[in-house]
Each structure stands twice: as C-alpha cells, then as structure tokens.
Amino acid sequence: MGEMEQMKKEAEALKTQIEAARKAAHDTDMASAASGVAPAPRVQLKTRRTLKGHLAKIYAMHWCTDNRLMVSASQDGKLLIWDSHTGNKVNAVPLKSSWVMTCAYAPSGNLVASGGLDNMCTVYNLKTPVIKTVKELDAHTGYLSCARFLSDTEILTSSGDTTCVLWDLETGKQKTVFLNHVGDCMCLSLSPDMNSFVSGACDSLAKLWDIRDGQCKQTFQGHTSDINAISFYPSGNAIITGSDDCTCKMYDIRADQEVISYQDAALNSGVTSLDLSASGRLIFAGYDDFNCNIWDSLKGEKVGVLSGHDNRVSCTGVPGDGMCVCTGSWDSFLKIWN
C-alpha cells in the first residue's frame, strides 16, 4: 500500500531526526560534568525497625505524607498500616483478592488503594469507624501494577494492559486513558508539580505524559529489558528508572535523553524498586539479589548497600521528610533504615 510505505519512510526519517537532535545536545554526560563534585559520603545505614506481621511475600509499600504511617501489601491477602515510629500495626485491611501487586496512601491520609491480578484498583476509607471499600475501579483488562493518588478524588493507575488511567473517584469512571506503550506498564511516578507523570513498561521505554491533555510528550530509550521502577527527581527535571537489565538510569527531561547509567559488572540481578533521598543525591535501589544498593546519583558510584533481607527486595520507599528508607521483601518483612 502506498500510504503504509510513505508512513514507514516518514517514521524512519523522524526517528533519525530525533537521534540527531539528541546527539547534538549530548555535549557531555552527567558523570563527567560531576567530576569536580565532592563524592557523597560512604553511606552506612542501620536497621532501626524490622516490621513483622505479613505471612507471605510483600509486593509493595507506600509512605503516608505524615512521614510516620505507611501501608504495605502482601500476597497473604492483607494491607497493613504501620506506625513506623513504634513499629505497631495500626490497621489491617483484608483484600478480596490476595494477588496484590501495588498499594498507595492518599496524600490526605484518609484513603488507601490496592490492586493486582484482579485487574481492579480498590479504594478503602481508613477514617470510617470500620474500614470501608469506597470504590472498585474496574476497567483495566490487565493486572494493576501501580496506583498513586493525586487527591481524595483522583487516582492514577498503570496496568499490564499497556495503559495508564486517571480515574475520578467520585464517579468511579475513567477520566483519561494514556495510550502509547506497547508492553505491560509496570510503574508510574507523579511529577512534583502534579501536572505530569512518567511510566515505565515492559517495552523497555519510559514515557512522560501530560495528566490533563492525556498526551505522551516524550519517550526515553536505553534500557534493554522491562522497566520495573521509576521515580521523578525532586527537582522535577529528571527521572530515574530501574530495570530487569540490572541497571538504573537517569534521563534528563529537558535534554530528552539518558545522562547516566548506574551499573556494575558484578551486579547481575534485576532492579525491582527504587526511591531517592530528599535532595536526590542518593538513589536506593532494590534488587532481586536480596540487597538494596545505594548510588550517588550525580557521579554514578555505588556508595553503600542495605543487606539484611533473606529474599528479593520488592519495594523501597523514602518518606517525604527523607528521614529514613523502608525496604519490603519477599521474606515477608519490612525494614526501616537510617
């Protein structure tokens, strides 16, 4: 067909144009630019709490904005709400489906959400006398890999059906469907200004989306396998990704390209999760090899390791005040380090 041939040609030409523009902007890389920066201190954190209570693999955790409570999800079919200061369990939410893959705390602290192989995102109100299910968001045709509240009335989800969706929690309906990935979406991260988000997928791409107009604005390549973890840098101008290809990468949004890769020849386990310290200088990345490695985000060097879990580290989270890092594992425990 004439039109197909024409479009193939145009696509190839545009890809070449994009690559040339990126190359023209690539006058250095992050590590070289940061060669004059003092190295980050060797980071040696101690386990301050080991939270015991789940009876099976932990798949996800998320801090509350009060920097004290957190929610964790396990395939024992429960969400647990913890007071991290005392180590006590504050609440337990039994799940209809035990195949949970993600959990989230609303910024208000009023709601939590979970989802997984049931393809649904279920939202619970923690403030009613008995914890109530307030919505079951049911439209994805694949597993729910990640959920993040924008507020008590909006939540973003990513799915194995390759889409991300913005939901209206008052109506329970989809507001916007974000279509562009060609592989399962595995993770998402909201920008600090809440106008955009990034998603990582099994197509090895990360994409930047405008929340309001639904458009994919940018695509970041470089990984050679599934992207399992993604986070905005606190400045909002860069993103960090973690992949099954055993590397983490930083992509600068305004330069539209990879600027540094965090890797080590001795590391041959996939990255499952990641989060950043308050300034963004330190990256805490959880791996399949049971460890969480700490990277200097500017210089690309490993500056520490959190060892203590007896199975894969599946989730990692730093609270908003940056006072600690929490790791959750398939060994059923959560650990708090600082």
What does the alpha-carbon distance between residue 163 and residue 42 come to, in Å, rounded to a whole number? 40
Q: Is 39 helix (H, G, I), strand (E, B) or coil?
A: coil
Closer by beta carbon to other proteins, 264 or else 321: 321
Least Å distance, CB 216 to other proteins, is 6
Closer by beta carbon to other proteins, 254 or else 265: 254
Closer by beta carbon to other proteins, 51 or else 155: 51
Amino acid (one-letter) located at 151: S
Q: How long, in residues, is the chain?
A: 338
Q: Which of 261, 256, 165 has its CA nearest to residue 217?
A: 256
Half-sphere exposure of 322 (CA within 13 A, CB side): 9
Phi, psi for residue 330 in degrees, rounded to 5: -65, -10
Closer by beta carbon to other proteins, 11 or else 56: 11
DSSP strand E in 86-127: where? 88-94, 100-105, 111-116, 121-125
Least Å distance, CB 310 to other proteins, is 22
Closer by beta carbon to other proteins, 114 or else 162: 162
Least Å distance, CB 167 to other proteins, is 24
Q: Is 2 helix (H, G, I), strand (E, B) or coil?
A: helix
Least Å distance, CB 170 to other proteins, is 31
Closer by beta carbon to other proteins, 92 or else 278: 278
Token pair, residue 49, equals 């709490």
Least Å distance, CB 67 to other proteins, is 9
Closer by beta carbon to other proteins, 3 or else 130: 3
State the Cα angle at 200 between 37 and 265, rounded to 5°: 50
Least Å distance, CB 100 to other proteins, is 27
User: Residues interacting with other proteins, by CB under 8 A?
Assistant: 1, 3-4, 7-8, 10-11, 14-15, 17-18, 21-22, 24-30, 33-34, 37, 40-41, 43, 45, 48-49, 68, 84-85, 180, 215-219, 233-235, 237-238, 252, 254-257, 259, 277-282, 297-298, 318, 321-325, 336, 338
CB-neighbour burial class of residue 212 (10 A; exposed 0-12, middle 13-18, buried 19+) = exposed
Least Å distance, CB 8 to other proteins, is 7
- Written as one string, the DSSP assignment of 211-265 is TTT--EEEEE---SS-EEEEEE-TTSSEEEEEETTS-EEEEETTTTEEEEEE--T
